[in-house]
Structures are given as C-alpha cells and as structure tokens.
Amino acid sequence: MGSRTDNVDLAELQKRRQKTLERLEGKPVEKAKPNSNNRPVIPRGGVGQLNLGLLDPRNPQEEYFADGYADLQDFQGVIANKVSDREKLSSLFTAWENIPKYNGSALAGVSSGVSEPLDIVTHKFIHDGDEYEMVLTPAQLQKKVKGKLVSQFHYPGLTEEFVELVLVQMSMEEAKLFDDPNLNSGRAYGVSFSLSGLKNAMSAQKKTRSYTELVQALNVLHKSNLELRVNGVKSASAPILPELYSYAERGYKKTDPSARWAARFHPLISMAISSRNYRQYNIERLMCTNSKAALNLSKMVLTQARNLSDEHPYRITYQEFVRHCGELNYSRRSDGIRKFINVAKALKTHGTLSRIEERKIRGWRNRVEDIELSLYGSKELIQEIKAGHVKERLVMERYEAEKKRLERQERSRAKK
C-alpha cells in the first residue's frame, strides 16, 4: 500500500496554506514536538510532511498513525501556538449544535424528571436556508424511591448538554472508534473515559457534578432518541448516545470513579467528522454560561455568525431566538425581551461579546413588538474564530487532496 501522500503536490499545498494564513492574518504555529518516547508525533511520510500547522494530541492513539485515518487526524488536530492552548479547544458541529435537542422542557412547556409520561417533542426550525424538523423522544429511567423502583421521564437538559460538550472534547485526545458499515467512512466516533476523568473535566470547567448526577446524565443521553428531517427527508434517527457501555460487571460499581465507560456519538456527529463539517472553538465560551438561553445564544453566535468582526455583528431578534430554540417564551413578550437583553449582556460579561446594540421593532400604536440585537464579538473571540477558519481551510484542502488521490488510485486499479 502506497503512502497516503502519493501523487499529492506537497509544494503546492504548502503555498496555498501560506496564502490562507496571510489572508486571515494568522501565523504559522509551532511544529509538533516528539513525545516522551522521542517518537515523532507524525511518522515520516504522513500528514506531518504536508506541514499543515496542526498541533496534534499529546499522546496520539495507535490509529492516528495508520493509513486511512485522515479524518481522525484532521478532527483531533488544532490550530494552536502551544500545547497549553490546546486544553481550551474543542469542535462544534455546525448543524448538530443548532438542533435544540436540549430544550425539550421549554418547547413542551413542562418540567423534566417527573413520574408522568412526557410527550414526544416535534419542533420545526430554519437553519442555513433549510427546514429542519426535530423529533425528540424523552428518556425513561428507573429510580428507587422508598425501596421501590419507579419510572421517571426526562428531557435532556443543561447538565446533559455540558456532559456532551465535555465528551466531545475528551474524544479529541483519544476517540473510541466503532465499526459502522452504514456510514461512508465505515466507522463511527465515540469516546472512552472513566467517571473520575469526566468529573474532573467537568470540574475544570466549573461545572461540578456528583458521580450519581453524571451517571444519570449519561443514561438520559443514551435513552433520549433524536430524529432529524431536513426538507422533509429523514436524515438520521438514534439516541443522542446510541451506545453506552459501563464495565461494572468486571467488579466495579456503576458510580465507581475508576469504572471505564465507552459512549458512541450520534450518527450526525460521525458524519460531520467524516465530512470535516465542524469548527474549532474555545470550549470555555460555552461552559462559562449558567442558563439554557445563554448557552443557546452562545452557540448561535459561534456557528451562525458570518464574518464576525468589529464592523460586522451577528444580528438576531428576540422572536427569531424563541422560534429557533423555544427558550424565553414568556407569556408577556416584554418580559421575554428584557430577559433576552440580559442574556446578551451576560455574554459580554463573560468576554464573548464586546458590545451590544439594540433596535426596537414597533408595531400597532407604536408598541414595542420585538427587538433586534447586534452582537459584536470580543477581540479574543474574533481571534479564536480566525484560527477556526484557518483549520477549516487547511483541513478541507487536505480532504480534497486525499479524495483526488483515492480517485486516481481507484482508476489505476480499474485499468489493471
């Protein structure tokens, strides 16, 4: 089997890379250093030969070096100037993050974690010009109350969303790979972890949860089914974590800090990794929030803002926000508008936004019916977005080069 870089014009790729960096006012990052065993992080002849400037995991897993795992290398590589910067970086999946799957309680208008069955939530919204329809089936768990097992129904909520964000970040250091012939790449993505590792990662982001709370969140994610239709065509249907394993049967208790767990991500995430449809971002931008509304607005800024800068803000109205995610849908619109403004101000306090401009939208008798906010990114956020754009472009260049190589390889085999 030939090198993964066969028939690839490395010099041309390097020139294009440099132009991309200059256009975005970025700077080439440090080359990856050898690990503690003095083994190059990228083997000779591999992706390192392209000199894309992606900083690699500190201890890459075995598959990272194998032929045919370019999607893993691209996903786990980041644009960063030093290893310590890497600890803040993760990936957002643009379409996935815009699905309000953690807003079931707001969309249904009921509380979660109750003994009565909860309704299946069906919600339509527009994303990037397409009509999406989400069908969310709540989780049903059993819990002991006064010595008796009773059923409880849960929509995935804020804790589950934070847990998923942390699991994705953990997979950028070491992913769990599953065989899946239904996906183009032939494999699905997930993560292997211990409860103590997950708890420490949550605590590092100031989202401390007990082991019992973490286990419940994992089970809610595993038993909540998410179906998505795009323009009337079913895209995927599966639990948010389709597969969840704990190794309690090997002598561990389910809440044992050392117990090993493995989780498989939703097929939409695996498809996004294979097609390189994700964006590098600073996970602290989301983990610093304390409400569902703030988390939703942060994700919308990170995934929907086009050319965010000091001159180009992200604009959104209160009613657009409510229609999209269901949050802040107060019976008195004036209360919702006031809360919406306060949520945006909280993002400014957290350092995500630099300033906010308000434009009142008036209707009958000059009454305020809505408000449009112009959200300007902070200097730090804009720098992070630029780095994310650099990675996107570098990864797509490599992705296209790899596809062309494989096509030439296939044509060559067909002629023999």
In whole angstroms, give the CA distance from residue 198 to residue 169: 11
Q: How confident is the model at residue 248, as a pLDDT?
A: 59
Helices marked H in 173-283 — which ranges? 195-204, 211-223, 267-275
Q: CB under 8 Å to 103, separation ≥6 — which residues? A: 292, 296, 325, 326, 327
Residue spans of the chain under pLDDT 50:
1-8, 10, 21, 23-52, 249
Q: Which long-range contacts (CB under 8 A, 24 or more apart) does 147-150 make?
A: 150/115
Locate the domains of the chain by residue range: 10-87+381-415, 94-281, 292-377
Quick: pLDDT tens for 155-212: 999 999 999 999 999 999 999 999 887 777 678 999 999 999 999 999 999 999 999 9
Q: Where are the beta strands (DSSP E) in 82-171?
A: 89-92, 121-127, 130-137, 139-145, 148-154
In whole angstroms, give the CA distance from residue 62 to residue 69: 10
CA distances from 359 to 148, 154, 306, 368 (A): 55, 38, 20, 10
User: Is 165 in contact with 286 (CB distance < 8 Å)?
Assistant: yes
CA quadruple 81, 21, 7, 400: dihedral positive or negative? positive
Q: Which two tokens stand for residue 269?
A: 């995430």
Question: pTM score, two decimals?
Answer: 0.84
Neighbours of 88 (CB within 10 A): 17
User: Is 189 in contact with 272 (CB distance < 8 Å)?
Assistant: no
Quick: pLDDT tens for 300-331: 999 998 788 888 999 999 999 999 999 999 99
In this structure, which topology does domain 292-377 adopt according to CATH? Arc Repressor Mutant, subunit A (1.10.10)
